[in-house]
Chains A and B, each alone.
Chain A
Amino acid sequence: DQQVKQNSPSLSVQEGRISILNCDYTNSMFDYFLWYKKYPAEGPTFLISISSIKDKNEDGRFTVFLNKSAKHLSLHIVPSQPGDSAVYFCAASSAGNNRKLIWGLGTSLAVNP
């Protein structure tokens, strides 16, 4: 049973517009959430994270929103650039699970020029 779900396998967005990637989780014990970005033939790269005590964290063009009551988080990229085209993974952890990262399946983002 997947505890972290990324229900959209792919997303296509026009350059300059907003990209919104979604992630849902089922385990209410998760208290830390991370987004990773992966280009083909490379390993995932840490992008941005958020603690459960916050509902928003921003880093440049990237913002992550957390809605604990809905067990939902989203990554907003604005404006989107062609170089953002990659697979984005959502991951979650809890102190009670020794901070083991639980991963989603990923969403492939294509930003079209």
Chain B
Amino acid sequence: ETGVTQTPRHLVMGMTNKKSLKCEQHLGHNAMYWYKQSAKKPLELMFVYNFKEQTENNSVPSRFSPECPNSSHLFLHLHTLQPEDSALYLCASSQDRGSSRYGYTFGSGTRLTVV
């Protein structure tokens, strides 16, 4: 139990499907993040939520839609994805946005394959 739980662990979806990734943290943290990890690229920050408010969107295409109903839950809604969106999607949390210096706690990720 890492404290940050992501489901599903693996997802295969067609380009016309709609699916959602879920992240839940049990650490009492107030900041949550979505990252994308593609082969041969650094970890890419997608979205940041601090106290349930989205504070950062790093030019992510609208086919990715985040939702943060409360400080413990974070979703990433996916629709009409492209094969190049296949990657490992990681959720992370930290005490708050400014305390990332103390390290994030990551979930195990969702391995997404778009066919």
Which residue numbers of B lie inside 8 Å of A, CB to CB? Answer: 2, 4, 6, 9, 40-43, 45, 55-56, 90-92, 97-109
Contact = CB atoms under 8 A, between A and B. Distances in A.
B63 to A, nearest CB: 23
Interface stretch (A36-44, A54-62, A69-77): A36-44
A99 to B, nearest CB: 4
Contacts, number: 61
Interface residues of A, number: 23
Interface in A19-54: 32, 34, 36, 41-46, 49, 51
Contact of B108 (A36, A42, A46, A89): A42
Contact of A49 (B2, B6, B9, B101): B101
Interface of A: 2, 4, 32, 34, 36, 41-46, 49, 51, 89, 93, 98-105
